[in-house]
Amino acid sequence: MKKTLMTGAATLALTTVGLAGGAQAQDLTIAGPWIGADQEMVEKVLELFEEQSGLDVAYVGSDSFEQQIVIDAEAGSAPNIAVFPQPGLASDMAKRGFLTPLGADVENWVRDNYAAGQSWVDLGTSVGPDGNPALYGFFYKVDLKSLVWYVPENFEDAGYEVPTSMEELKALTEQIVADGETPWCIGLGSGAATGWPATDWVEDMMLRTQPPEVYDGWVDNSVKFDDPRVVAAIEEFGWFARNDAFVSGGASAVASTDFRDSPKGLFTSPPQCYLHRMASFIPAYFPEGTVEGEDVDFFYFPSYAEKDLGNPVLGAGTLWAITNDSPAAHQFIEFLETPEAHEVWMSQKGFLTPHKGVDASKFGDPATAAMNEILLGATTFRFDGSDLMPGGVGAGSFWTGMVDYAGGKSAEDVAKSIQASWDALK
């Protein structure tokens, strides 16, 4: 395999070469956002494809992927396949005619073989230059956000059980307070990105209080941000975050506590909190030497039993699309349908998949396998909503609005201000 790595300004300077640069003699060129250790892991997957197909593959990783892939597509020098970290950019490129539809067979395969398969079809479908929708993206490598972290020893000592519904989670929250303890650690701080952890809370609450189509409408603003259903979801987050008795340090500490520091209260003696809702990456900020599944564990952020909305999961993931059509590109997409294509990365680390046919024993550690069980149990998967909204909203007014809400501003006023920022973009 030809290995190529470009970063930052070096990548952008090589516009005439592009993300497929130096790889023109290869049978298949692939570009994506992974560099460093992640690049080494994806290359193991590509090596398997080379072995099975007899084709030569070149991968180019870039930390400026989102900018460079547009430059290359406009110049007619795109790689055969591009790996998009977010579906929004892929959708924009599909509309401009820079992506190739994957076809009905791939669409049917995803629907039949991925857990919550229709969700993945919907996420990978975009409107093409002809104005018609088609499947342009194949999701491979997923991240999970709908998780609550806890210390099993603390639960055992206090006699608490893992809740299986939102009603039970709220009852547990109140029980911990009744026992004289503090249930939650919550932190929204993240430097210039302060507020984003609250957007995940609200997105999860939207999926637990409304059907998926309402969530989709909220994301594209056909359901306005100040719609009562959205306001109610914000207030559901507030039920946890705006009660002084429920949060370590009190409600006033939520916005000022850095999200990287917020889980530390789980591990103090005595514990400063018992519960922490955060995505699958948060163990990177646990105390050194913490063993998942032993020192700390997690459970699915549960749905409401009374609302009959199934088991929705919030997450993210990478979408693979054909940006320079060739038979080898379609052959590679077919390869991604095989369990082996997933298992080779599963056996390393940091990989989740909705593929129902994989061998779970191939996961590199039990914690990741347990997370994947949650993913496979999902009836609905939805991508992080703020990532799909216009940048000025999803990475702007939504963030700051949640900080204002945590600070005491009403959900109605916050929602109105966010909607006003969206209207100003039109």
Query: Given this model, what pLDDT does residue 25 score?
Result: 56
Dist. CA 224–CA 423, nearest whole Å: 10
Show the 3-state SS of the chain: CEEEECCHHHHHHCCCCCCCCCCCCCCEEEEECCCHHHHHHHHHHHHHHHHHHCCCEEEEECCCHHHHHHHHHHHCCCCCEEEECCHHHHHHHHHCCCCECCCHHHHHHHHHHECCHHHHHHHHEEECCCCCEEECCEEEEEEECCEEEECHHHHHHHCCCCCCCHHHHHHHHHHHHHCCCCCECCCCECHHHCCHHHHHHHHHHHHHHCCHHHHHHHHHCCCCCCCHHHHHHHHHHHHHHCCCCCECCCHHHCCCCECCCHHHHHHCCCCCCCEEECCCCHHHHCCCCCCECCCEEEEECCCCHHHCCCCEEEEEEEEEEECCCCHHHHHHHHHHCCHHHHHHHHCCCCCECCECCCCHHHCCCHHHHHHHHHHHCCCEEEECHHHHCCHHHHHHHHHHHHHHHHCCCCHHHHHHHHHHHHHCCC
407: pLDDT strictly greater than 50: yes
Dist. CA 423–CA 417, nearest whole Å: 10
419: pLDDT strictly greater than 80: yes
Q: Cα 225 from chain centroid?
A: 21
- Dihedral sign (CA 313, 314, 320, 323): positive
User: With respect to CATH, is domain 147-312+386-423 assigned 3.60.20.10?
Assistant: no
133: pLDDT strictly greater than 80: yes
Residue 192 CB neighbour total at 10 angstroms: 6
pLDDT cut 70: percent of the chain above it: 94
Band (398; pLDDT cuts 50, 70, 90):
very high
Nearest to 317 by CA among 268, 358, 371, 353: 353
Query: Given this model, what pLDDT does residue 426 score?
Result: 75
310: pLDDT strictly greater than 70: yes
Band (14; pLDDT cuts 50, 70, 90):
very low
The residue to which tokens 């790595």 are assigned: 5
Query: Given this model, what pLDDT does residue 349 score?
Result: 87
Band (211; pLDDT cuts 50, 70, 90):
very high
381: pLDDT strictly greater than 70: yes
Query: Given this model, what pLDDT does residue 26 score?
Result: 79
pLDDT, tens digit, for every residue of 148-181? 999 999 999 999 999 999 999 999 999 999 999 9
242: pLDDT strictly greater than 90: yes
pLDDT, tens digit, for every residue of 335-349? 999 999 999 999 998
Q: Where in the chain is the domain with CATH 3.40.190.10?
A: 2-144+314-383, 147-312+386-423
Band (17; pLDDT cuts 50, 70, 90):
very low
Average pLDDT of span 247-257: 97
Can you give the pTM of this predicted structure? 0.90
Band (6; pLDDT cuts 50, 70, 90):
very low
Dist. CA 192–CA 181, nearest whole Å: 32
Query: Given this model, what pLDDT does residue 13 score?
Result: 29
Strand pairing category for 138-144 and 147-150: unpaired
Average pLDDT of span 125-154: 97
In this structure, which topology does domain 2-144+314-383 adopt according to CATH? D-Maltodextrin-Binding Protein; domain 2 (3.40.190)
Query: Given this model, what pLDDT does residue 86 score?
Result: 83
pLDDT, tens digit, for every residue of 29-69? 999 999 998 999 999 999 999 999 999 999 999 989 999 99
390: pLDDT strictly greater than 70: yes
- In terms of C-beta density within 10 A (0-12 exposed, 13-18 middle, 19 or more buried), how is residue 308 classed? exposed
Query: Given this model, what pLDDT does residue 4 score?
Result: 43
- Dihedral sign (CA 103, 104, 107, 112): negative
pLDDT cut 90: percent of the chain above it: 90
Query: Given this model, what pLDDT does residue 19 score?
Result: 53
Band (16; pLDDT cuts 50, 70, 90):
very low
